[in-house]
Structure 1
């Protein structure tokens, strides 16, 4: 999994253009979902075909992640990617079949439940259905998104056959940066992916410790947040539509001077853990 991924939510008709731009700039991870309400998975697939046909990348160079979105997360006024009258396992199978068609690929690197379903049992059923595709070689890794209950996450981890490899959550000051779930991820070798990383934490971007770090290492505050995520085993999603900002996000990986044991980093870590 790349250390930063390109997020495709809300890109609408510009999805192909923006995903193509991101990959040509250097992104090697793309996050989407089989959810027409917020994503154009089909246009992500169009972008992938274009950059592969042009020789920009090979299929194996790109980490592709999509999601199964339950009926509660779909816009029922739009065509759905599965028959809502079918049992959940069949909905999951149909959704993944739609994803393969939309993306134009034979396998997907990561598939994530977009959120827990209405009950624990339904959540487990959906996950176990995805496990069958892992065994067939059509999915490489599984995960879950929008799961903020540490007890529920631990429950799921203990019951699945294919380990939870990804948790993708909103990581922002409103939930105290979700440290309880993050800690479970660290204990279970699960990669934590963050979204709303910048827009959800304006106070973090203005925090004196962060400003000092950014100034001392020649980074923007936004780059510093992305770098801290990488130091803390978090893969941030970047959904920028501006080429200059995309370049700044990608440049973070080369910022090797900033280390986890830097005193200023430890100070900021303590300050962020004291929230709430």
Structure 2
């Protein structure tokens, strides 16, 4: 167990940008918050072509201003968005005609995302998405596979990789088996109601699929108060929320962070840096805390 923990703990020492900044529910504050996230050090951004919960166009404005101002380059930022089915949209405000055929819905949605997230104000030339996710499976598995195959036509030029959110393991397995472009990302709630997706996360690890978590804090009040989280927070001198983030990341999970506080953005990133530094000289203590956390979220059966 200790050797596995030490191996996985190395994820906290790498140079990958910490967190994905989640832009859901930010409304008219979206642009300001994305720019603050970039300034704090976030380099991965999550949005969706779903005006009901996301303001994708404002995400794009924030990114373009950051690019043009020299804060970041397009190639340094990972940008992912989503195609959302009509069931997940506001009927009065969606990026496509819900009565149109599925292929038209998807092509129109992707076109709107490429426009919204274009790197230059004056032109869509060179616009691309690092990842596009199906926001959820479609009503039937046949439609889900059809949608996936339509999205494959954009890879690798306009879309670099594909993923899916709110998915179960059986559906993910069908997509994986039926696809030419294999899933690169799964984005799910990480919480006890799904028993922390242990079998699904194992499938992701075995097939080089990145598992992204949302509701990591709000969906886990008991985990936040758990003994290993408290032990890490005290030992490393960090907030318990950052301790939970670090222990979830140690499982191989990429965490969405949607804080609306610029202070918390900086504190969360700095907290992870503290964990990395503490790990360097406390590897055995880290291994024990990590193993205790895994007993809670990945119990043996």
Instruction: Tell me whether the two structures share a fold, i.e. TM-score over 0.5.
Output: yes
Equivalent positions of 1:122-271 (< 5 A) are 122-135=143-156, 137-147=157-167, 149-254=168-273, 255-256=275-276, 257-258=278-279, 262-271=287-296
Deviation at 1:132, TM superposition (A): 0.5
Q: Distance in 2 between matches of 1:76 and 1:119?
A: 21
Q: Which residue of 2 aligns with 1:71?
A: 86
Q: Distance in 1 between matches of 2:234 and 2:76?
A: 34
Deviation at 1:2, TM superposition (A): 3.9
Q: Distance in 2 between matches of 1:16 and 1:223?
A: 25
Provide the TM-score with structure 2 as the length reference: 0.87
Q: In 2, are the aligned partners of 1:34 and 1:69 still within 8 Å (CA)?
A: yes
CA RMSD of aligned residues (A): 1.7
Gaps of 5+ in 2: 1-15, 120-126
Q: Distance in 2 between matches of 1:194 and 1:33?
A: 16
Q: Distance in 2 between matches of 1:191 and 1:51?
A: 27
Q: Report runs of 4+ in structure 1 exceeding 4 Å deviation.
A: none
Provide the TM-score with structure 1 as the length reference: 0.94
Deviation at 1:205, TM superposition (A): 0.6
Q: Distance in 2 between matches of 1:8 and 1:151?
A: 28
Structure possessing the higher relative contact order (Cα contacts under 8 Å, 6 or more residues apart): 2
Q: Distance in 2 between matches of 1:229 and 1:212?
A: 15
The reply on whether 1:45 has 2:79 as its aligned counterpart is no
Q: In 2, are the aligned partners of 1:226 and 1:252 still within 8 Å (CA)?
A: no
Q: Which residue of 1 aligns with 2:97?
A: 83
